[in-house]
């Protein structure tokens, strides 16, 4: 009799739990628990992270990219633009529920909210997070990353400068000094997909797929955040700020596409973007790759040895000088905005939370990979 009463009480508790927490929410919570376990293992195991990144995550990224690829606009941007209205509706619904004052409706509402959070977290873990903890790009490429000297930066910057200047012969420049991309964004997209396909043949650690680069509709407003592009893991989209100067667009697009293909660390995405730009048959995409990497290396050289930097820049081709000068003029109206400081802080915090101790400064660590590539030990 006692055992029967215990069994009945257990069934009663379970029935109440099911009544308060819908079955879909229970499923999402279960998946989230699995995601937490997987995430913890990835933090401590490079091998497990590689297995996840090359199997489960690769499939999730591919499926998301293909689904959202059917939309001609950025699905992630649409969600973000709708967030204020969603929050207003949530507040109104919360007020309505509080007036009802029944624990049943309140708990079910909270279960719904938590379900959304667990879905986003699960997408992050099963689609992207393991890439932060997997094998490094230098290991995959057989490079030896090391602390670099000013002289090595000077030599590397010189190689990049020379290549950019040679490629500039086939680039069209307008009166203001800026270069002009000689094709549409859609054509650039196709050229980068071709470059990635060619690169993947030689480097199978990069996921092979043809995807669409999503142009941000509010690119001008986004420029105030100083964000040139962003990969949204919950939609699998590589999003591009098209308001930036032309010469930055192919390189930035290649950077975001590298995230979409399983490279998470920012310095590695920067260098992979350069390698893919080099792989392209298109002169302007190559020009974009060389010039953007040159800026990173030259900037590091300026901090390391200003006299060597002056020597490097003393004979810079006037076309390259005008390009960079035009870029600085473009950014004058967007610099030091409150929005950029906030977005920078958010991005810095996010990167540090994923094991990138340098935060937003990790973008600049691409110079170590560049030196290891051009001046191997």
pLDDT at 111: 81
Query: Lowest mean pLDDT: which of 284-288, 290-294, 338-342?
Result: 338-342
Q: Which pLDDT band, with edges at 50, 70 and 90, does 87 fall under?
A: confident
pTM (2 decimals)? 0.89
* Closest to 160 (Cα-Cα) out of 367, 377, 311: 367
Q: What is the 3-state secondary structure (H, E, C) of the chain?
A: CHHHHHHHHHHHHHHHHHHHCCHHHHHHHHHHHHHHHHHHHHHHCHHHHHHHHCCHHHHHHHHHHHHHCCCCCCHHHHHHHHHHHHHHHHHHHHHHHHHHCCHHHHHHHHHHHHHHHHHHHHHHHHHCHHHHCCCCHHHHHCCCCCCCCHHHHHHHHHHHHHHHHHHHHHCEECCCCCEECCCCHHHHHHHHHHHHHHHHHHCCCCCCCCCCEEECCCHHHHHCCCCCEEEECCCCEEEECCCCCHHHHHHHHHHHHHHHCCCCCHHHHHHHHHHHHHHCCCHHHHHHHHHHHHHHHHHHHHHHCHHHHHHHHHCCCHHHHHHHHHHHHHHCCCCCCHHHHHHHHHHHHHHHHCCCCCHHHHHHHHHHHHHHHHCCC
Q: Which comes out higher in pLDDT, residue 262 or 3?
A: 262
> Quick check: 165 and 320 in contact, CB under 8 A?
yes
Poorest-pLDDT segment among 173-177, 195-199, 201-205, 235-239? 173-177
| Predicted local distance difference test score (pLDDT) of residue 94 | 67
Residues 27, 35: Cα–Cα separation, whole Å: 12
Q: How far apart are CA 93 and CA 266, in angstroms?
A: 40
The maximal CA–CA distance of the chain, rounded, in angstroms, is 95
The per-residue pLDDT for 176 is 75
Q: Report the pLDDT averaged over residues 199-221.
A: 94
* In the block, residue with structure tokens 């606009």: 73
Percent of the chain with pLDDT over 70: 85
Query: If pLDDT is split at 50, 70 and 90, which confidence band does 17 have?
Result: low
pLDDT value of residue 98: 62
Instruction: Summarize pLDDT for 96-123 with one digit per residue, the tens.
Output: 666 665 566 677 778 888 888 999 999 9
| Residue 135 · residue 286 · CB < 8 Å | no
Do 13 and 94 touch, CB atoms closer than 8 A?
no
If you average pLDDT over residues 52-75, what whole number do you get? Answer: 96
Q: How confident is the model at residue 351 (pLDDT cuts 50, 70, 90)?
A: low
> Is residue 344 over pLDDT 70?
no
């Amino acid at each position: 009799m006692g055992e029967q009463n215990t069994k009945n009480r257990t069934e009663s508790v379970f029935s109440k739990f099911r009544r308060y927490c819908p079955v879909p929410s229970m499923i999402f919570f279960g998946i989230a628990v699995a995601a937490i376990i997987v995430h913890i293992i990835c933090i401590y195991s490079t091998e497990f992270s590689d297995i996840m990144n090359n199997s489960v995550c690769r499939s999730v990224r591919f499926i998301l990219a293909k689904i959202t690829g059917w939309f001609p606009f950025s699905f992630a941007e649409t969600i973000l633009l709708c967030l204020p209205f969603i929050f207003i509706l949530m507040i109104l619904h919360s007020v309505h529920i509080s007036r009802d004052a029944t624990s049943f409706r309140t708990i079910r509402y909270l279960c719904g909210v938590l379900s959304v959070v667990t879905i986003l977290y699960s997408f992050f873990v099963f689609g992207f997070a393991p890439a932060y903890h997997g094998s490094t790009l230098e290991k995959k490429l057989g490079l030896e990353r090391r602390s670099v000297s000013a002289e090595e930066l000077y030599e590397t910057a010189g190689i990049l400068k020379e290549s950019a200047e040679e490629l500039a012969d086939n680039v069209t420049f307008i009166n203001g000094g800026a270069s002009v991309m000689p094709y549409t964004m859609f054509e650039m997209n196709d050229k980068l997909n071709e470059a990635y396909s060619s690169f993947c043949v030689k480097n199978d650690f990069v996921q092979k797929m043809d995807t669409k680069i999503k142009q941000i509709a509010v690119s001008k407003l986004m420029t105030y955040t100083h964000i040139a592009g962003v990969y949204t893991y919950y939609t699998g989209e590589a999003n591009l700020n098209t308001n930036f100067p032309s010469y930055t667009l192919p390189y930035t697009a290649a950077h975001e596409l590298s995230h979409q293909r399983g490279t998470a660390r920012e310095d590695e995405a920067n260098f992979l973007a350069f390698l893919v730009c080099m792989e392209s048959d298109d002169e302007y995409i190559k020009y974009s790759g060389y010039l953007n990497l040159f800026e990173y290396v030259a900037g590091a050289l300026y901090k390391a040895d200003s006299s060597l930097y002056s020597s490097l820049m003393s004979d810079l081709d006037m076309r390259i000088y005008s390009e960079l000068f035009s870029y600085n003029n473009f950014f004058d109206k967007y610099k030091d905005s409150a929005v950029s400081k906030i977005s920078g802080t958010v991005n810095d915090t996010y990167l540090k939370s994923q094991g990138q101790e340098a935060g937003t400064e990790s973008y600049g660590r691409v110079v170590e990979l560049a030196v290891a590539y051009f001046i191997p030990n």
